[in-house]
Structure 1
Amino acid sequence: MLRSLVNPGPRSPQGKRRALLAAAALACLAAPALGQAQQVTLRAVSSFDEKTFFSRHFERFVEKVNQEGKGLVQINYIGGPKAIPPFEVGNAVRNKVVDLANVTGVFYTNIVPEAIAMSYTDLTTRELRANGAIDYMNTLLAPKGLAYLARLSDGVPYHIYTNKGFTGDLKGQKMRITPVYRDLFLSLGSTVVQTAPGELYTALERGVVDGYGWPIAGIFDLGWQEKTKYRVDPGFYGSENGILMNLSSWKNLTQAQRDFLQKQFAWAEEQNATYKDEVAAESKRQAEAGVKTIALSPEDSRKLLDAAHDAAWKRMAEVSPTHAARLKSLFSRP
């Protein structure tokens, strides 16, 4: 019997025909499975609320990938901070809870302290790619199992927002901070308070804080314009958010899938050109909402920008003495 299974001997013409039909049927059944095997679905999250200023570019990227990547790459976008709290997103990507995320480096300095350098710059994404800054950051991320694949912000500076005015310092003011401008605000004499963004409206309403730092955009998403009197110009640094991906998730893709995503990442970075008009629109909208601008003189502007620069790189030298000088040269404007 074993011999007959291995070598069943000559077949009749009818038998050969049945065998060919069976093989053809199996091939047809296998075809969809093979097609499916070429498609990968990646899980993604945003560290910002859905449909808000700092999520919209990422959401357009997801939509484009899903439209053009059928049969190759799809993204299952599970949402914003309600899915994963912002400061846990870095570890979620690292541990492959999700494959990629729209997140700022400020939220994963617990993994890579140097990531905050990406918010200390006013260089454009194109400049950061040309001078090797993003490549260098990836050499620091890779040992942690992470890869930075697209920067989704350009020309969106941070500003001081205050209800008490500004005459060159923040003495006597309680300011809500994030790690990006904590040291600057301390150097300007303020008391600092760290709260979740969702708690700031109430903190302003109750006088728990007198102001806060935030990019030029996004305050309307949170309703803060209702409790904000002044914005100080000029802005400083450059708000950063980008696409962070699990390195093994990236490496496990086929070459065709990586090539497809690289084109999508390039497209996403090209969309940063729209920020110039968006920032102008946000500034106008703030004025219309009653947020007054405190425009510093050229001399006082220079003092503020110098203070911001010095505070940032002093902090970097403390948290990363090995890499601080190189990061400063790459992320600072000559």
Structure 2
Amino acid sequence: MAQHLWRRAIGYAVLGSLLACGAAQAEDRLRAIVAYQSQYFYAKTFATFVEKLNAAGKGVVQIQVVGGPEAIPPFEQADAVRTGVVDMLYAPGTYYLGLIPEADAVAASSITPMDARADGAFEILRKPFAAKMNVEILGVVPGGVPFNIFLKEEPKIGADGVPDLTGVKLRGSPTQRDFLTQVGATFVQIPLPETYTALERGVVDGMATPIVGVMDLGWDKFLKYRIEPGVFQTDNMIYVNLDKWNALSEESRKILKQIAEEQERESYDFAQEVIQNEKAALAERGMKAIELSTEGAEKYKRIAQDAIWGRLEKNDPTYYEELRSKLDR
């Protein structure tokens, strides 16, 4: 009897070891949601990240994109990743300023995401994003793409060299609200998929948006003028639900970090090339660039920067000084 029990115990131990080994080798899987329509430049950038990650993480960690704005409206996606409805989100942080005011610092940054990471700003940002949005930030993909104001009609330029957009209805995201109103525009917030129709029907007279993607979605059919220079920079980030992140294997987390950092660098460089190509293509299609004077451009950019940093200081000053000292140069 004792020998029988001993053999059973050995059998259970072996079985337990095999199960544990199988569990250790199980592939981690993350369900991702994207804020953009699939044909948009930024959605394609994230798709490249997913492709690279799935190749490098085969057998260890994989990402499945389960939908975009058609599945969950973009401004509701932060709650989806915060609560674990999805494991991963790719979206602009400034879509969710009510939840995470520190997202403003990413858009207001005047340095590259790689420099921000090397200088420690990224580590500062991780704290509020973890506490308020329940996410780990993997990277800014791509950074360095400025926002321009695009218009149907040629803009007025004030005596100070700054555009006077009084009475002009502009579509924008929460990022640009304060800036646009300070240059006289009427801010209009509408979902990205509805922008084409809004331009077509005259609901808006233009928009503040990165140059990359304007042709992808056909907006250049209506937009004929672009104010230069651009301001801010894109703040599209890859987030992972923090509970999911902590449950991943160490190897999975290592692969995710590595591929995200690679895509951060590569997408930045690629975006700079795309920007120049887009400008040339838009010029060929008849779009005119309105170049501000040197003095006007500096005032214009400072209005933009101060609008965002001032809003962050007002909404939550906890990390304001630390972030601005590193990111506003």
Distance 1:328 1:37 in 2: 43
Counterpart AA for 1:81: P
Distance 2:55 2:322 in 1: 40
Q: What is the deviation of 1:68?
A: 2.4
Distance 2:3 2:193 in 1: 74
Distance 2:24 2:31 in 1: 17
Is there any run of 5+ residues in structure 1 with no aligned partner, and where?
A: 9-18
Q: Which residue of 1 aligns with 2:280?
A: 284
Does 1 or 2 have the higher relative contact order (CA < 8 Å, sep 6+)?
A: 2
Matches within 5 A, 1:320-331: 320-331=316-327
Answer whether contact 1:154 1:273 (CA < 8 A) is retained: no
Query: Residue 106 in 1 paired to residue 94 in 2?
Result: yes
Q: What is the deviation of 1:3?
A: 4.9
Counterpart AA for 1:328: R
Q: What is the deviation of 1:323?
A: 2.7
Q: What is the deviation of 1:91?
A: 1.2
Distance 1:225 1:36 in 2: 52
Distance 2:243 2:19 in 1: 28
Matches within 5 A, 1:78-89: 78-89=66-77
Counterpart AA for 1:150: G
Q: What is the deviation of 1:330?
A: 2.3
Q: What is the deviation of 1:239?
A: 1.1
Q: Which residue of 2 aligns with 1:234?
A: 229
Matches within 5 A, 1:173-322: 173-271=168-266, 272-322=268-318
With the length of structure 1 as denominator, give the TM-score of the two structures: 0.88
Instruction: Note closer, same or farther for the CA distance 1:194–1:72 as it changes in structure 2 (3 Å cut).
Output: same
Q: What is the deviation of 1:41?
A: 1.0
Answer whether contact 1:122 1:157 (CA < 8 A) is retained: no
Answer whether contact 1:101 1:245 (CA < 8 A) is retained: yes
Comparing 167-176 and 30-39, the one that deviates more:
30-39
Counterpart AA for 1:189: G
Q: What is the deviation of 1:172?
A: 2.3
Query: Residue 117 in 1 paired to residue 105 in 2?
Result: yes
Comparing 105-114 and 87-96, the one that deviates more:
105-114
Distance 1:330 1:169 in 2: 31
Counterpart AA for 2:65: Y
Distance 1:266 1:203 in 2: 37
Instruction: Note closer, same or farther for the CA distance 1:172–1:36 as it changes in structure 2 (3 Å cut).
Output: same
With the length of structure 2 as denominator, give the TM-score of the two structures: 0.89
Matches within 5 A, 1:36-47: 37-47=25-35
Answer whether contact 1:150 1:243 (CA < 8 A) is retained: yes
Distance 2:208 2:6 in 1: 79
Q: What is the deviation of 1:72?
A: 0.5
Structure ID, larger Rg: 1
Distance 2:24 2:121 in 1: 38
Instruction: Note closer, same or farther for the CA distance 1:31–1:121 as it changes in structure 2 (3 Å cut).
Output: same
Deviation sequence 1:127-153 (CA, Å, 0-9, x none): 111221111111111223211111112
| Helix, strand or coil at the partner of 1:155 | coil
Counterpart AA for 1:257: S
Instruction: Note closer, same or farther for the CA distance 1:303–1:142 as it changes in structure 2 (3 Å cut).
Output: same
| Helix, strand or coil at the partner of 1:78 | strand
Counterpart AA for 1:325: E
Distance 2:6 2:171 in 1: 80
Instruction: Note closer, same or farther for the CA distance 1:32–1:63 as it changes in structure 2 (3 Å cut).
Output: farther
Counterpart AA for 1:137: L
Q: Which residue of 2 aligns with 1:149?
A: 138
Answer whether contact 1:43 1:99 (CA < 8 A) is retained: yes
Deviation sequence 1:60-99 (CA, Å, 0-9, x none): 1111121222211111111321122111121111111111
Task: Give structure 1 regions of 4+ aligned residues with deviation exceeding 6 angstroms.
Answer: none
User: What count of residue pairs does the alignment treat as equivalent?
Assistant: 316
Instruction: Note closer, same or farther for the CA distance 1:7–1:97 as it changes in structure 2 (3 Å cut).
Output: closer
Q: What is the deviation of 1:46?
A: 1.1
Q: Which residue of 2 aligns with 1:73?
A: 61
Answer whether contact 1:47 1:102 (CA < 8 A) is retained: yes
TM-align CA RMSD: 2.3
Answer whether contact 1:89 1:108 (CA < 8 A) is retained: no
Answer whether contact 1:35 1:71 (CA < 8 A) is retained: no
| Helix, strand or coil at the partner of 2:164 | coil
Q: Which residue of 1 aligns with 2:114?
A: 126
